Structure 1
Amino acid sequence: MLRLALLCLLVGMGAASAQPRWPASAFNPAPANDDLLLPMPCGGSMAFRKVETPTGDGALDDRPALLGSAEAELGYLETLRRVNVVGPFGGGPQPRHFFMGKYEVSRAQLDALRQPECPATNTPEARRPAVEISWFEAMDAAQRYSTFLLQNARASLPRRGLAPAFVRLPTEAEWEYAARGGAAVSEADFQGRVFPMPEGGPEAYAWFQGPRSAAGRLSAIGLKRPNPLGLHDMLGNAAEWVLDAFRLNRVGRSHGLAGGQVARGGDYRTTTEAQLRSSLRIEYAPFVAETGEPTRLATIGVRFVLAAPTQGSLADSTSFRQAFDAETRIRIPVGDDPATLLQALRRDQTDPAMLAAIDRVGAAYAAETRESTDRARLAARAQIQAAAVLARSVYVADQRAGALQTMVENPGAVGATLQQAAAWRPMLAGVRAEVEGGVRAYAAIVAQLGRATDVQVGAEAAVVQQDLRAQRVPELIGPVALVARHAEAATRSLPSLAVFRADILREASGR
């Protein structure tokens, strides 16, 4: 800490320019245009990637994600479970997000934070992940890096309101959400055993046990292809400490016993190719029983995230309180509202046991209400995207129908005979029926959305658009907006099929 304090003082006096900058290959061997690069002591840097968590813009909105594995033998360790994540940064037109280290923290980066002398960066060891680091030392390194950044690069840090970011270990939910590809992949790919690996399979993306891959050796950061979020070595190479204590799973929730520390991602020495999976989590005792020393293993390192205080300002606290109060109100007559009835019952009670029982019932009712609302919002997003896909399919089918119509009416223009034109007529009829069927299916979804009373379709459509941008599917952005407009109109009067068809074709053609 003494060297870090002296370095901070020198930077404040303008002496940092005397520190030679690291070559990019030492901290970002696979650069991308949208990397966030933050400085480190000794002229170093660390690269971070944005991890978007698209959700609504309410103060308490967050993004549900299904994590874990459906494999029965892994149930008590990795059972499928619904969690929620949301980043502290962004909001409004910009998707909410957090930042995760693009690579595992390298030996040179860790030494720059902890050692009295600046490390060499041109050795093979310097560019490998820093391993044999305990969970406590990882936390200490995050604290040191936060101090350095806040004292020397505050203006470069993302902010939540007025509060600048700080460095910490990722939570298990953040880690697995990012490892699976987050919002950059489809729901089906997100639920896969591993993230999509289209170019060469696991060997191209992960260092795992065996002669075809790691061959028992830890490798330098960034040599393999990244996952869909641009994060390298999420699976294999070094496993990574996370923030949470280990918990077993019960069906539908975590078990109440908090245990040791968790390492995620598997490693180069003990994890086979068949064992690679985004859900892999292993518990380690934080101390060696025989010596009392913190657990340090040659297979475990660390990756940082940038986070921020939840309540970055008084305005945050106010908006959270208002959002929470709004969630407790149900859109039913006050006299029939269970929450109101429970409150009235509570006012008439003096028995502590009865008051505690009423409070438990009230908490369970509020939780069920929240879960019901979340399910309704997820269903609405799925319906919106399905309707947008239908709209796009209607346009494509209409284009096919137009081409077939020309071929049937003027076969000579394409060098065809009258007999061939006659054979195309049934095909034309089938494609036109496909257009009409698609419009009817689209109208049915819009009608359901128009009748929804527990979701705001426009707000959910905005979340779907954020997802589509993250997944690089721009052709559905416009149709999603059209679905939202039609659903709003349907709250008053359902448009006719002719209006739906004309609007779909106009939107898709860009006219």
Structure 2
Amino acid sequence: MLAQPTPTWPVAAFNPRALADDLVLPLPCGGAMAFRRVDTPAGDGGLDDRALLLGSAETETGYIEYLRRTYLVGPFGGGAEPRHFWMSKYEVTRTQMEALRNPACPAANTPAARLPAVEVSWFEAMETAQRYSGFLARNGGPRLPRRGGAPAFVRLPTEAEWEYAARGGAAVAEAEFQARTFPMPEGPEAYAWFQGPRSAAGRLSPIGLKRPNPLGLHDMLGNAAEWALEPFRLNRVGRQHGLAGGLVARGGDYRNTGEAQLRSSLRIEYAPYDATSGEPTRITTVGFRFVLAAPAQGSLADTAALRSAFEAETRARATTQDDPAALIAALRREQSDPAMQTALDRLGAAYARETRERTDRARVAARAQVQAAAVLSRNVFIAQQRATGLQGMVENPGAFGATPQQAQAWRPMLAAVQAEVEGGVRAYAAIIAQLSQATDIAVPAEVEVVQQELRAQNVPALLPYVMLVAGHAEAARRGSVPPVAVLRADILRTTAAPTPR
């Protein structure tokens, strides 16, 4: 494998807000492009993916942006490492695009070097991706991600990839993910270039001047809008409409999107060709960014694993005599009428799809239960510490410089905290009982996903309690839910998490 070329451009030209975990890949002319990892925790099965609710609940533009369920998983990682894809940290700049498309090398230290490339047609963006893929195949070096034996290639992001990353992905809690924008503690003007004198004032701005979103991605909202990979589709009350339309630009822009219009669900349709000239559409406010992707079947081993996973899922409900899938299959074998066979095929496919969706919902519910039980157990741990402190103050007030009368006033408080501990343990036991009855899913696999999500959200304090939940759920599955006294004792021994101050 060829060694990766060392960038000679100033770092400010391609990564002005450099982070230690950025993936920096070379460009021609001594250039480079920075990427951020976007985790998609989803389990490690060949066909595991992550259910997402994208779009907006607002009905005014519901036919364009209404809430819809879709699924996503990155091609890289697996095992202890979350599944993930890589996305350009910034919008592709004019200089980066010129380095890939023009014979002469561009100047990388000019004031315009960091401006996003705009007025670029979708076709030019795709051609640039094709050129960059070829360059990386020859010059990417060992840092270029691989799936099986297949190296990553470059393309525009799908709408699901783009919106998932724009919302903050697994780095934010579910409520934050469903919000109108990713969390902006310092206010929108600190994170986005939008229309108006308080922000862009009608001017395109260089990359990296604003704060990033929780994934470390800059200018996902505002500045230049960004082309998506697939054609525009309308929304038919929660699902994509069947008509494939024009091109999609995401994220809003510096000239047409005001602060009130900033939202992760914003999507605009453009015709691919100019109606007058017939030339590809170029918009002065639309640019692009890339993702690193890989073939779904990166190797023969991948293909075998995918086939095995599919067969396992289709067999999952065919283990009993009265299973509908088995009955449908038996009926089809007995039919010689092609029309009836086709009808049974459609019925079987519909049943398999409904079963898969039901299992997906059960997996999401199990993850929520695991996290809820972990939060409950940590709250019990903290409440017991408070109770222990109050107990000492009630039984020996003099040691705390208090009077017996003050100790009497603390008794109701102690009783309330003790009740909080007992109520928390019993609620925890109820969740453990529910998890032990989850026969259609593998709880340990969902525990692993929850751990990956908590690491992505930088909430390590809950990790010991997640493992406690996993152990109790497995014990309950093998026999019965441990007694409340055992659960309480186990929770109070879980001291790896930081104690409250």
Shared fold (TM-score, shorter chain, > 0.5): yes
1:333–1:62: structure 2 CA closer, same or farther, 3 Å change rule?
closer
Say whether residues 1:26 and 2:13 are aligned partners. Answer: yes
CA positional deviation for 1:481: 0.7
Say whether residues 1:290 and 2:299 are aligned partners. Answer: no
2:229 to 243, 254, 260: 243
Say whether residues 1:170 and 2:142 are aligned partners. Answer: no
Alignment of 1:447-462 (within 5 A): 447-462=433-448
Percentage identity across aligned positions?
A: 72
2:340 corresponds to: 354
Q: Following the alignment from structure 1 to structure 2, what is the Cα–Cα distance between the partners of residues 400 and 503?
A: 18
2:294 corresponds to: 308
Query: 1:392–1:508: 8 Å Cα contact kept in structure 2?
Result: no
Q: Following the alignment from structure 1 to structure 2, what is the Cα–Cα distance between the partners of residues 381 and 422?
A: 43
Q: Following the alignment from structure 1 to structure 2, what is the Cα–Cα distance between the partners of residues 428 and 344?
A: 65
1:39 to 10, 26, 41: 26
CA positional deviation for 1:455: 1.2
Matched residue of 1:252: which SS?
Answer: coil
Q: Following the alignment from structure 2 to structure 1, what is the Cα–Cα distance between the partners of residues 290 and 403?
A: 68
Say whether residues 1:215 and 2:201 are aligned partners. Answer: yes
CA positional deviation for 1:153: 1.8
Q: Following the alignment from structure 2 to structure 1, what is the Cα–Cα distance between the partners of residues 76 and 385?
A: 42
2:483 corresponds to: 496
Q: Which amino acid aligns with 1:238?
A: A
Structure 2 alignment gaps of length 5 or more: none
Say whether residues 1:180 and 2:167 are aligned partners. Answer: yes
Q: Following the alignment from structure 1 to structure 2, what is the Cα–Cα distance between the partners of residues 39 and 315?
A: 30
Q: Which amino acid aligns with 2:14?
A: F
Structure 2 length as normaliser, TM-score?
A: 0.97
Query: 2:5–2:139: 8 Å Cα contact kept in structure 1?
Result: no
Matched residue of 1:334: which SS?
Answer: coil
Q: Following the alignment from structure 1 to structure 2, what is the Cα–Cα distance between the partners of residues 450 and 156?
A: 42
Per-residue CA shift, 1:64-118, capped at 9, x if unaligned?
A: 1110000011211011011111000100000000000000000100000011111
1:140 corresponds to: 127
Alignment of 1:6-405 (within 5 A): 21-198=8-185, 200-331=186-317, 333-405=319-391
Matched residue of 1:406: which SS?
Answer: helix
Query: 1:51–1:229: 8 Å Cα contact kept in structure 2?
Result: yes
1:388–1:137: structure 2 CA closer, same or farther, 3 Å change rule?
same
Q: Which amino acid aligns with 1:433?
A: A
Q: Following the alignment from structure 1 to structure 2, what is the Cα–Cα distance between the partners of residues 430 and 252?
A: 45
CA positional deviation for 1:155: 2.2
2:420 corresponds to: 434
Q: Which amino acid aligns with 1:303?
A: R
Q: Following the alignment from structure 2 to structure 1, what is the Cα–Cα distance between the partners of residues 367 and 310?
A: 22
Q: Which amino acid aligns with 2:402?
A: A
Query: 1:154–1:164: 8 Å Cα contact kept in structure 2?
Result: no
Per-residue CA shift, 1:476-506, capped at 9, x if unaligned?
A: 0110111011001001122111110010011
Q: Following the alignment from structure 1 to structure 2, what is the Cα–Cα distance between the partners of residues 16 and 502?
A: 57
1:345–1:30: structure 2 CA closer, same or farther, 3 Å change rule?
same
Matched residue of 1:226: which SS?
Answer: coil
Query: 2:5–2:26: 8 Å Cα contact kept in structure 1?
Result: no
1:3 corresponds to: none
State the 4+ residue runs in structure 1 displaced beyond 6 angstroms.
Answer: 14-17
Say whether residues 1:420 and 2:419 are aligned partners. Answer: no
CA positional deviation for 1:251: 2.0
Per-residue CA shift, 1:199-244, capped at 9, x if unaligned?
A: x210000000000000000000010000000000000000000101
1:398–1:332: structure 2 CA closer, same or farther, 3 Å change rule?
farther
Matched residue of 1:292: which SS?
Answer: coil
Per-residue CA shift, 1:437-488, capped at 9, x if unaligned?
A: 0000000100111111111111101100100000000010110111011001
Structure 1 window deviating more from structure 2 (461-470 vs 120-129): it is: 120-129
Q: How many residues align?
A: 497
Query: 2:461–2:497: 8 Å Cα contact kept in structure 1?
Result: no
CA positional deviation for 1:126: 1.7
Q: Following the alignment from structure 2 to structure 1, what is the Cα–Cα distance between the partners of residues 238 and 180?
A: 20
Matched residue of 1:84: which SS?
Answer: strand
1:366–1:416: structure 2 CA closer, same or farther, 3 Å change rule?
same
Q: Following the alignment from structure 2 to structure 1, what is the Cα–Cα distance between the partners of residues 50 and 340?
A: 36
Query: 2:27–2:99: 8 Å Cα contact kept in structure 1?
Result: yes
Q: Which amino acid aligns with 2:336?
A: T
Structure 1 alignment gaps of length 5 or more: 1-10
1:312–1:443: structure 2 CA closer, same or farther, 3 Å change rule?
same
CA positional deviation for 1:15: 13
Query: 2:4–2:139: 8 Å Cα contact kept in structure 1?
Result: no
1:477 corresponds to: 463
Query: 2:318–2:326: 8 Å Cα contact kept in structure 1?
Result: no
Matched residue of 1:268: which SS?
Answer: coil
Q: Following the alignment from structure 1 to structure 2, what is the Cα–Cα distance between the partners of residues 185 and 337?
A: 40
Structure 1 length as normaliser, TM-score?
A: 0.95
1:286–1:383: structure 2 CA closer, same or farther, 3 Å change rule?
same
**What value does the CA root-mean-square deviation take over the aligned residues?**
1.6
Q: Which amino acid aligns with 1:127?
A: R
Query: 1:479–1:508: 8 Å Cα contact kept in structure 2?
Result: no
